[in-house]
Chains A and B, each alone.
Chain A
Amino acid sequence: MSSLKMHNTRGGRIFDAFNVGILTIIGIIMILPFLYIIAGSFATEAELTRRNFFIWPETFTLSAYKYIFSTATFSRSILVSIGVTLVGTLVCLFFTFTMAYPLSRKKLLGRNLFMNMIVFSMLFSGGMIPTYIVVKSLGLLDSYWSLILPGAINPFNLIIVKTFFQGIPNELEEAAKIDGCTEMGIFWRIILPLSKPVLATFALFYAVGIWNDFFHALLYISDNTKWPVQVLLQQIIILSQGNLTDTAAQGAAYVEPPAQSLKLAVVVVATLPILIVYPFLQKHFAKGMLLGSVKG
């Protein structure tokens, strides 16, 4: 075997050892900060001030988690994020899939016009301020819909779904039509059940995007009782002005920054949903990214 031959030289072996070492270090660097944050969120405040860096706490305590979930501000923002992510994912899937199907039918008159319209919007946009004015004049400021509707269709996703629909054999459709099925019936009863894996993949794409989104909330939500968890996180850690008690109680000029373990616990909770779906993400996102590089 030639692969054996590759290992045989002394230089080759040294290179291999070096390579394994380097990649191991890189891999560890990529997740080390998370390990510290998880460990620290379970540690006591005293341990956090005493020890520089650790990935295993000496004494386990859940007090940070008990505290953050006992505050109205944090629990509320988690609920907002969960709600917006669930509803938003359904809305995005509805808009993307209902639009992708007609666009995948070659007989649709005006298909090219619609496609050009979509591609042009990927190239050029009205920009932040005109979009803000549109959202404002629709009365969506400080509404949860402002976190969902302005990003309801990702044009890249739309084009990938459309390409997928084009791959479904026409014969299925024709057979259904002979059985007296309308186009609408074909879409709901034949096309959608066939695309369950694709639906699942894009549900994941959209859900992660909405959960991680900070931009829309920054622009459109100023009412702090409606903040999703990403904005709360920015307030607590980056601006360091958030204590977790209710904003109504924030009368004092100086607000003591929250304890370190609380900050870490908030980061862990905001990251948790992503870590739970990570095994699926890794598998499907790589595929999606490669698909995205194909022309629609």
Chain B
Amino acid sequence: MGKISAQITENNLTQPTIKSKTKIKSDVPLIQSLIRDKWLYILLLPGLVYFVVFKYLPMWGIVIAFQDYSPFTGVLGSKWVGFDNFIDFFKNPDFFRLLKNTAIFAVLNLVFFFPAPIILSILLNELRVDSYKRVVQTFIYVPHFMSWVIIASITYIFFTTSGGIVNDIVSQIYGKKIDFLSSPDWFRPLIMLQIIWKETGWGTVIFLAALTSVDKEQYEAAIVDGAGRFRRLWHVTLPAIRSTIIVMLILQLGRFLDTGFQQIYLMSNSLNRGVADVFDTYVYFVGITQGAYSYSTAVGLFKSIIGVILVLGSNKLAKKMGEEGIF
């Protein structure tokens, strides 16, 4: 991400770092250092308590995945069952359904959503009039800041069979209405439509940043060499964002299992649940609505572990390909 970092140093929030020359000795005894920096530790305390209570206590709470947890007996009083919850999950037909749905969303994302911001930022970059470029940018960033509830509400308002604009038009052309919102066939296209509409504009930010770092002289040199518009695109523009594309692609692979909970939860209903359910929504329905705490924690833990492996693996892959990783 060298190109991006270069951009950041130009206009970021931070001031230039001034490195302190005095090296702090690390062999100050613990007590002495606690006394010397007591105010710093007091400042640190609220944040530390936050991390312990809301991040590390739940991590310890994962033990209930290996128990038959009951809210009445608590974590300490519940019966240990080993890997039973996991075995139940792997034997359950739901497991393959969740895996399949998640994999389909991940592939659709990669094929339809991932290239969209790249293409859009190249088009924006080709725009000669800067003021018009800014106007377009102002428009395309808007949906990103809307909550998923707003996005889902808008989708419902437009696609509903009772007075939705899309269905009014469909019935005028086609003769009858299509039940987009509860038909399993339309669930995935709608999800893709939403995510492309909401995030494509915003996704251009990182690629446009990479593109601004391209030296104008490179384009001029290419013109002198007789390169046409598309050759310039191929030989100057694309190589400039190549490393950004690779890093974003790898990040995407690392987030393979992270299908947006809010989006899918809001768009799913009893009729399309078969194709809608992914790991997170399943954990919610089984855990919170049905109260199967231990079983759903096991499902969540399975997802987290695979997630960590994917992130670390993709990070390693990035480094192998000569790119900077995220860690």
List the interface of chain A (C-beta within 8 A of B): 2-3, 5-7, 9, 11-12, 15-16, 19-20, 22-24, 26-31, 33-34, 36-37, 48-49, 52-53, 94-96, 98-103, 105-109, 114, 117-119, 121, 123-134, 136, 138, 149-150, 152-153, 158, 160, 163-164, 166-170, 182-184, 187, 197-198, 201, 208, 211-215, 218-219, 230-231, 233-234, 237-238, 257, 260, 263-264, 267, 270-271, 274, 278, 281-282, 285-291, 293-295
Contacts and interface: CB of A to CB of B under 8 A. Distances in A.
Q: Which of A11, A291, A294 has the most CB of B within 10 A?
A: A294
Interface string B136-174: 111111110111111011101110001101001100000
Q: Among A100, A198, A237, which residue has the most Cβ atoms of chain B within 10 A?
A: A237
A1 B276 CA distance: 56
A184 B43 CA distance: 8
A212 B47 contact: no
Given A30-B201, A212-B146, 19 more contacts: A15-B229, A49-B163, A102-B40, A114-B48, A126-B60, A127-B58, A130-B61, A130-B300, A136-B71, A158-B47, A164-B14, A167-B16, A211-B147, A214-B266, A238-B266, A264-B157, A285-B145, A291-B8, A294-B8
Contact of B140 (A30, A213, A230): A30
A168 B140 CA distance: 35
A183 B38 CA distance: 9
A132 B128 contact: no
A102 B261 CA distance: 34
B30 interface: yes
B266 A234 contact: yes
A37 B154 contact: yes
A129 B136 contact: no
Q: Which 9 residue pairs are nearest across A and B when measured between Cβ atoms?
A: A126-B58, A99-B47, A130-B61, A127-B300, A212-B147, A183-B39, A27-B139, A130-B58, A102-B40
Nearest to B1: A293
Contacts of B56: 117, 121, 126
A290 B7 contact: yes
A23 B4 contact: no
B157 A23 contact: no
Contacts, number: 304
Contact of B293 (A100, A133, A134, A291): A133
Given A129-B297, A132-B287, A290-B12, A234 B149 contact: yes
A19 B229 contact: no
B315 to A, nearest CB: 10
Interface stretch (B87-95, B105-113, B119-127): B119-127
30 contacts: A2-B219, A2-B223, A23-B136, A26-B136, A52-B165, A95-B47, A105-B40, A107-B24, A121-B55, A127-B301, A128-B287, A129-B293, A132-B287, A133-B61, A152-B50, A152-B54, A167-B16, A183-B40, A184-B42, A187-B43, A197-B13, A213-B147, A214-B148, A215-B262, A219-B284, A230-B149, A237-B153, A264-B157, A282-B137, A282-B141
B128 A16 contact: yes
B50 A11 contact: no
Nearest to B292: A129
Which one of B15, B138, B142 has the highest number of Cβ atoms from chain A below 10 Å of its Cβ?
Answer: B142
A102 B48 CA distance: 11
Interface of chain B: mostly helix, strand, loop or mixed: helix
B96 interface: no
Of the listed residues B14, B205, B280, B301, the one surrounded by the most CB atoms of chain A closer than 10 A to its CB is B14
Contacts of A11: 228-229
Given A118-B51, A133-B293, A201-B13, A33 B158 contact: yes
B300 A129 contact: yes
Contacts of A30: 139-140, 142-143, 197, 201
A124 B57 CA distance: 13
Contacts of A37: 154, 157
Contacts of A158: 47
A6 to B, nearest CB: 7
Contacts of B39: 182-184, 187
B54 A291 contact: no
Contact of A23 (B44, B127, B224, B261): B127
Interface in B4-42: 4-5, 7-8, 11-18, 20, 24, 26, 28, 30, 33-34, 37, 39-42
A218 B120 CA distance: 35
A98 B126 CA distance: 45
B288 interface: yes
Contacts of A271: 146, 150
B311 interface: yes
A291 B57 contact: no
A281 B43 contact: no
